[in-house]
């Protein structure tokens, strides 16, 4: 039986279309290929009748996932962990995407994060720890929000008063009327350090705001 996850790995940008169904997917053989469902997530939704009245019927489970097709060269389809271990190279290659897809991610400074996420999602047999890049990115995010929370405390504000998405320029503009010149300069320096670390990890600003 396929394993379930709660969310896609941080930084992953799937190059293929997501599939949704009301049955938990399973590995299957479609000669000469094997079809492997991966990154399976379960959602429970309320169901309503649509015969003129929105009458509540109950709850139902739905599954969202991706499928990778590759040449079948062995493996027990009932041993999901074994299949992932046997076909880890093919799974990585499928999720890395085409050269054109990777070029687009590279242009947006997202390629490094995507590759690290793919490697974390489809690990080599025996690999138990996430790649160092994932831990580095988590540290960058923590540093960013530490800087923001510290500045908000100085300005007597909370995160709830900020927009859903903002950038360094917004924070510095906000600080102009609430912080002294030296504290603004400190905030600017700290945000520049975070920006440098972010680019070094191949991430973009919007990824700092993902709930992961």
| Phi and psi torsions of 196, nearest 5° | -65, -45
In this predicted structure, the answer to whether residue 125 has a pLDDT above a threshold of 80 is: yes
Question: To which residue do tokens 């492997």 refer?
Answer: 36
Which of these ranges, 7-21, 174-188, 195-209, has the smallest mean pLDDT? 195-209
In this predicted structure, the answer to whether residue 51 has a pLDDT above a threshold of 70 is: no
**94 or 194: which carries more pLDDT confidence?**
94
Helix (H, G, I), strand (E, B) or coil at 21: strand
The full set of domain ranges for the chain reads 19-109, 134-209
**143 or 159: which carries more pLDDT confidence?**
159
In this predicted structure, the answer to whether residue 45 has a pLDDT above a threshold of 80 is: yes
CA-CA distance, 131 to 119, in Å (whole number)?
A: 7
- Mean of pLDDT values over 1-15: 88
- Mean of pLDDT values over 130-146: 73
pTM of the model as a whole: 0.61
Chain center to CA of 168: 23
- Residues facing residue 69 across a β-bridge: 35
In this predicted structure, the answer to whether residue 127 has a pLDDT above a threshold of 80 is: no
- The overall average pLDDT reported for the chain is 86
In this predicted structure, the answer to whether residue 117 has a pLDDT above a threshold of 60 is: yes
In this predicted structure, the answer to whether residue 93 has a pLDDT above a threshold of 90 is: yes
- Mean of pLDDT values over 67-74: 96
The set of residues, in sequence order, having a beta carbon less than 8 Å from that of 187 and lying 6+ positions away, is 147, 151, 171, 172, 175, 179
Chain center to CA of 206: 12
In this predicted structure, the answer to whether residue 35 has a pLDDT above a threshold of 90 is: yes
């Amino acid at each position: 039986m396929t394993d379930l996850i709660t969310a896609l790995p941080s930084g992953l940008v799937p190059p293929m279309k997501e599939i949704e169904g009301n049955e938990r997917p399973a590995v299957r053989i479609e000669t000469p290929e094997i079809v492997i469902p991966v990154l399976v997530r379960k959602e429970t939704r309320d169901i309503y009748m649509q015969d003129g009245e929105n009458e509540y019927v109950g709850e139902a489970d739905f599954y969202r996932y991706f499928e990778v097709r590759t040449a079948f060269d062995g493996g027990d389809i009932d041993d999901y962990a074994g299949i992932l271990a046997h076909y880890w190279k093919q799974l990585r290659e499928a999720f890395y995407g085409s050269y054109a897809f990777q070029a687009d991610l590279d242009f947006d400074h997202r390629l490094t994060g995507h590759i690290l996420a793919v490697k974390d999602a489809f690990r080599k047999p025996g690999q138990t720890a996430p790649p160092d890049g994932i831990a580095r990115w988590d540290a960058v995010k923590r540093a960013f929000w530490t800087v923001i929370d510290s500045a908000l405390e100085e300005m007597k504000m909370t995160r709830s008063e900020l927009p859903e998405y903002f950038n360094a320029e917004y924070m510095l503009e906000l600080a102009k009327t609430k912080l002294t010149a030296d504290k603004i300069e400190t905030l600017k320096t700290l945000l520049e350090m975070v920006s440098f670390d972010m680019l070094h990890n191949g991430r973009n600003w919007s990824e700092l705001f993902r709930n992961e």
